[in-house]
Structure 1
Amino acid sequence: MCSRATAGNVFVFVGALFHALAMFTPWWIITTSAYYGLWQFCTRLTESVKCQSISLDLSANIVKDSMKATQAIACLGLIMTGLAVLFTVYYLCRSEKLQVAGGCSICAGILVMIGVVIFGASRNSLGLASYLSYSFGVETVGGLLLCIAGGMQVS
């Protein structure tokens, strides 16, 4: 039977993978003619798809303050996730307690969940009838896994 800390370590790696995967895929929102992510949006043409980068250009119509906030918090979450993975590997090699790694995991999970809430609450500001897609769900699960992992590592 594995210990709680071991399960927490696995959750850190899976949560980090989910966060990284979701952060860079363009399927957070799907409409009838387009789909959007944090960093690009794609429009469906008759037989092709045209994707454009979402820049931080202030004149871009699609880049609302809520999108900028979500991008910034997702980046902070990725940094904290990287630290959580780094400390997890470091403390596993040294057979020490995982409190620092657990703290980083909890912070990363909280940041990811704040980004999820901001994005989910502001999705209608795009002025489109839209549906949240799988990348949004993967991001949510990744944030939850990071929080759970942190709790398991700290205890």
Structure 2
Amino acid sequence: MTKFLLSVHVLAAIIAVGPVTVAASMFPAVARRAIAEPDASEHITTLRTLHRICRVYALIGLAVPVFGLATGLSMGVLSDAWLTVSIGLTAAAAGILALLVLPDQAKILADLTTPAPVLDAKSRATLAMFTGVFNLLWAVVTVLMIIRPGSTTGA
């Protein structure tokens, strides 16, 4: 059962978190191009698609910690420090995505679809920063999952 849970956990991480990190990373650059060009309709369509990918895959990504906790429980490692840190970093990444990245993307999209967009460079830079922090947190969690301090696998 542990191997099944671990397999689903890893697959969910790859299938759900990967697209969010890529789409969220692309969003600020496309937003810059949309602001710079007079006819931004194509870029706005791209931004809507990227935002939708982030929202949908964020919901699918809820399976990652669910199956991760189930895997940790079946392995008896829920109290290990590396897993506790990973859980905290995952919660931080989810919070950044839900409370900062997705709302900022929605705000930029709303501003771009008004007759006279008033986007400042600060909002775009802030979104890029939050997206970078989100991606960095996931990278650290991935490394912790691979290294697993105190692991008995020899990895």
Q: TM-score, normalised by structure 1?
A: 0.49
In our comparison, the structure showing a higher alpha carbon Rg is 2
More helix by share: 2
More strand by share: 1
Pick 1 or 2: higher relative contact order, CA cutoff 8 A, min separation 6.
1
